[in-house]
Amino acid sequence: MKILITTGIYPPQIGGPSQYAKNLRENLEKKGHKVNVKTYKLGNFLPTGLRHLYFFLKVIPSVVRSDFCIILDTLSVGFPTILACKFFRKQSVVRIGGDFLWEQYVERTGKKILLRKFYNKEIADLSLKEKIILKLTRWTVKNSKALVFNTKWQAEIWKTPYRMANSNIFIIENFYGSKLPSRSFQKKNFVGGVRNLKWKNLDTLKKSFSEAQKKNNELVLDLENLPYENFLEKLRNCYAVILVSLGDVSPNLISDALSLGKPFILSKETGIYERVLDVGIFVDPRNEKEITEKILFLSDQENYENQKRKLESFSFYHSWEEISDEFLDIFKKLSVKI
């Protein structure tokens, strides 16, 4: 088949969607399919609206030549790609890996509203731009042939505000790799490198970590961001991983920690809570005291070794090959309906 993948970012750009597009492409090509990836590149420098028009015109030839379109966001490439797919009657699947509207709202207002509470409490306070985002996302969701979520958790959050039909919702979990070689730590460094966005809750993390350092001056917080391969090397040598976001659907940082056998502290506000419940340490992202306590808990050698043993028992595996097969299965189901 001829498959088109559209994504806002692609290597060498850093980010979850970038790695997702790269690995999905490689595994679909291994199965003999011809895969074309379209991303913004120069279009990133255009203002909103013109950027979408640019991408719509850019993607039309690829849509026309494709049998199946996989779209890795709902707005930046999602809206223009779905518009082209609808016009040329092409099958389309939108993968929803985050929540752009909620992210924009938290960034604008500075309110520390949890993702799972956002649509019930804040929808009336949206700005004009955010209301437009909501309407365009609803249109994209409505006109996509299928919707793919990483977790049931996010699918449930989206069902009502985006008026989704159960019949076109699929769950494809994120990548969980096999065990990777790891190294012993040389210092008690907690790695939490993420984008510097308000919903990532870095200010709370820094305050909580500072309090923990007053009781244990061996502790080091490392928030440096690096290209993926370099970042993976940093994880391989670290003491532990920490992520206290206000809502992280399926964080790649944690799946990497699992592969490397690195203990982690994770926000309870995550779509993978049930998947990693038995092997992680969880915190309320708004509770600075609790975060401090859990950092100190994990800094204790006995507790640390106990968490390491738990991680050894984690055996869930979900390969890129399986992920690509699940997308192809959705395409087969859509083809039957035609």
CATH classification of 188-312 is 3.40.50.2000, yes or no?
yes
**Predicted confidence pLDDT, tens digits, the chain (338 residues):** 999 999 988 887 777 788 899 999 999 999 999 999 999 876 567 777 888 899 999 999 999 999 999 999 999 999 999 999 999 999 999 999 889 999 999 999 999 999 999 999 898 899 999 999 999 999 999 999 999 999 999 999 999 999 887 778 999 999 999 999 889 898 999 999 888 899 999 999 999 999 999 999 999 999 988 888 888 899 999 999 999 999 999 998 999 999 999 999 999 999 999 999 999 999 999 999 999 999 999 999 999 999 999 999 999 999 999 999 999 999 999 886 54
Residue count of the chain = 338
Instruction: Please say whether the dihedral angle defined by the alpha carbons of residues 141, 171, 19 and 58, taken in this order, is positive or negative.
Output: negative
From residue 135, how far is each of 118, 122, 221 by CA, in Å?
16, 16, 40
Give ∠ CA 192-244-185 in degrees, rounded to 5: 35
The single residue listed with the structure tokens 């956002």 is 118
- Tell me the C-alpha distance between 196 and 180, whole Å: 28
Residue 338's pLDDT is what?
43
Q: Are 77 and 136 in contact (CB under 8 A)?
A: no
- The CATH homologous superfamily for domain 2-174+319-337 is Glycogen Phosphorylase B; (3.40.50.2000)
Residues 6+ apart with CB under 8 A from 217: none
From residue 201, how far is each of 120, 136, 198, 285 by CA, in Å?
21, 27, 5, 8
Instruction: Considering the chain, tell me which residue range(s) the CATH 3.40.50.2000 domain(s) occupy.
Output: 2-174+319-337, 188-312
Pairing of strands 219-222, 240-243: unpaired
